[in-house]
Amino acid sequence: MASKFINITLKIWRQKNTTAKGGIETYSLANVSTDSSFLEMLDQLNEQLINEQKEPVAFDHDCREGICGMCSLYINGRAHGPETGTTTCQLHMRSFADGDTIYVEPWRSRAFPIVKDLVVDRSAFDRIQQAGGFVSVNTSGRTMDANAIPIPKADADKAFEAAACIGCGACVATCKNGSAMLFVGAKVSQYALLPQGKVEAKDRVLNMVRQMDEEGFGNCTNTGACEVECPKGISLENIARMNREFLTASLTTDK
């Protein structure tokens, strides 16, 4: 496709630090190539700001190929912008038209406090993982042979699909309740589907859900928004599986 150049107006949330009061600032940006990615467009804005000796906009990003999960941004009212199955770094400016006004906001969640501008703190996800998102096996390499337990391909594939979560937090950002159930459900599911994970499945789901609640995420009301906005298309099935695991574990453990 032939590239074009467009002029846009940006409405970006600026906030000095966690405790400072933030607000939306307006910027005009000219000559944005439609072949540029959204983040390259922000690079261009920052270059412009630096040339004006102003402070550039802080935003999280790293791999810029849709896998590290570091980029975020609520763009024109949607997590990772208007396209589905896409992270912000994979969003390209050809999705916008000349003269568009684009709102760029950080993820909004009590559990994801703003660090600066568009950067939020997602360490709540790490803490949930630390509460049980693992198989308690030592790293000796002296386990059994990798092929000792055959795993039905269908289960392995489903576990993989759940494990494809990149931990970006779009599910929380887009959920009207700020719920982290898709993230936690995906992790719980990955292990629940594999024989290696089944041993500690009950403790895992109880501990991870407890941590999730402590972090201040909201509850799932099954609106399904997370599944739609998830850049990796993680299925709601994983939330149901976690619910199932949680109910069973609650009813059948001594705790």
Partner 1 sequence: MALTGLFLCTFLVGHLLGNLQLILKTGEEGRRAFNEYAYFMGHNPFIKILSYVTYAAVLIHVIDGFALTIQNRKARPVRYAYNKPGANSSSASRSMAILGTLILVFLATHMANFWWKMKVKEEVPLHTYKLEMDNPMMGAANAELYYTHVPGIQPIPKDEKNIIEKGTDLYIKGTNVKVAEGYRDLHGLVIDFFSKSKNEGALFAVLFYLISMIVLAYHLLHGFQSAFQSLGINHPKYTPLIKIIGTGFAVIVPFLFAIIPVIIYMNH
Partner 2 sequence: MSTLNSRIPEGPISEKWTNHKNHMKLVAPNNRPKIDVIVVGTGLAGASAAASLGEMGYNVKAFCFQDSPRRAHSIAAQGGINAAKNYQNDGDSIYRLFYDTIKGGDYRAREANVYRLAEVSGNIIDQCVAQGVPFAREYGGLLDNRSFGGTQVQRTFYAAGQTGQQLLLGAYSALSRQIGLGRVKMYHRHEMMDLVKIDGKARGIIARNLITGELERHSAHAVVIASGGYGNVYFLSTNAMGSNVSAAWKVHKKGAHFANPCFVQIHPTCIPVHGTNQSKLTLMSESLRNSGRIWVPKKKEDAEAIREGRLKPTQIAEEDRDYFLERRYPAFGNLVPRDVASRAAKERCDAGYGIEANDTNEGVYLDFATEIRNKGRQSAFAQGDHNPSEEKIIELGKKWIEEKYGNLFQMYQKITDDNPYETPMKIYPAVHYTMGGVWVDYNLQSSIEGCFVTGEANFSDHGANRLGASALMQGLADGYFVLPYTISDYLANDIRTGKITTDSPEFEAAEAEVKLQIERFLQNKGTKSVDHFHKRLGLIMWNKVGMARNEAGLKHAIEEIAALREEFYKEVFVPGDANEMNPELEKAMRVADFIELGQLMAVDALHRQESCGGHFREEFQDSEGETLRDDENFKYVAAWEYQDGDATKAALHKEALNYEYIKIAARNYK
Q: Interface with partner 1 by CB under 8 A: which residues?
A: 11, 13, 24, 74, 76-78, 82, 103, 105, 108-111, 174, 176-179, 216-225, 228-229, 236-237, 239-247
Instruction: Write down the H helix ranges in the chain.
Output: 38-51, 123-132, 153-163, 170-174, 181-192, 195-198, 201-214, 225-229, 237-252
How far is residue 208 CA from its own chain's centroid? 17
Q: How far apart are CA 27 and CA 171, in angstroms?
A: 28
Q: Which does 216 bind (CB under 5 to 8 A by kind): partner 2, partner 1, none?
A: partner 1
Residue 200 CB coordination number (10 Å):
16
Strand partners, 28: 9
**Which residue from 77, 84, 134, 253 is in contact with partner 2, where contact means CB under 8 A?**
134
Is residue 126 part of the contact set for partner 2 (CB under 8 A)? yes
Q: How far is the CB of 220 from partner 2 (least distance, A)?
A: 23
Site for partner 2 in 194-213 (CB under 8 A): 194, 196-197
Judged by CB, which is closer to partner 1: 22, or 56?
22
Query: For residues 37 and 45, is the Cβ–Cβ distance under 8 A?
Result: no
Judged by CB, which is closer to partner 2: 19, or 176?
19
> Which window, 80-88, 100-108, 173-181, 242-250, contacts partner 2 (CB under 8 A)?
80-88
Distances (CA, A) of 194 to 173, 186, 188, 239: 29, 13, 10, 17
Site for partner 2 in 16-55 (CB under 8 A): 16-17, 33, 35-37, 39-41, 43-44, 46-47, 49-51, 53-55
Query: For residues 217 and 172, is the Cβ–Cβ distance under 8 A?
Result: yes
Site for partner 2 in 137-156 (CB under 8 A): 137-147, 150-153, 156
Judged by CB, which is closer to partner 2: 14, or 177?
14
Q: How far apart are CA 167 and CA 232, in angstroms?
A: 10
Q: How far is the CB of 158 from partner 1 (least distance, A)?
A: 10
